[in-house]
Amino acid sequence: MARYFPIQKTTMVKKEAVQRKWYVVDASGKVLGRLASQIAKILMGKHKPNYTPHVDMGDYVVVVNADKVVLTGKKWKQKVYYWHSGYPGGLKSMTAEQMLQKHPERLVWLAVRRMLPKTALGRKMLKRLKVYASPTHPHEAQKPEPISL
């Protein structure tokens, strides 16, 4: 005798039905990795109950006070960021401490970027991340909601 299981429909959100919100996050005193993972979750849309993996349904995130982010342990001196110029012998490097002094926004941006999918969809999600070293930002017209992570 066969058992009957009712079929449950899985809802798939269409990209036209996505409603985006704006959030502002204060990074002062927050640990970089923990902050970045929460921001990545919001950019992907995983905080929404109708999350659909193949649809770009995340929200906008404005990060302020990126220069006051915290790293634990000895990471300020030991964590090294590498990139290549494209020329022979062109490997460049910078410690997290140097990065904070020169480009404080890039610390947060790189941490979030590396937690997003490495696809065209991930690059699209990253465009909705706005990072500022100061407590002010030019997105007041969008009325971003403050969110504590």
Q: pLDDT by residue (tens digit) across 51-80?
A: 999 999 999 999 999 999 999 999 999 999
7/146 Cα distance (integer angstroms) = 40
- pTM score of the predicted model: 0.90
Structure token pair of residue 82: 């590498």
Q: Say yes or no to pLDDT of 24 above 70.
A: yes
Q: Using DSSP, state whether 80 is helix, strand or coil.
A: strand
CB 64 within 8 A of CB 129: no
Range 134-142 average pLDDT: 96
Q: Are strands 22-26 and 145-146 parallel, antiparallel or unpaired?
A: parallel
Q: Which CATH architecture has domain 19-70+103-146?
A: Alpha-Beta Complex (3.90)
**Residue keyed to tokens 């030991």:** 78
Q: Which of 77, 84, 66 is nearest to 134 (CA)?
A: 66
Can you give the residue ranges of every domain in the chain? 19-70+103-146
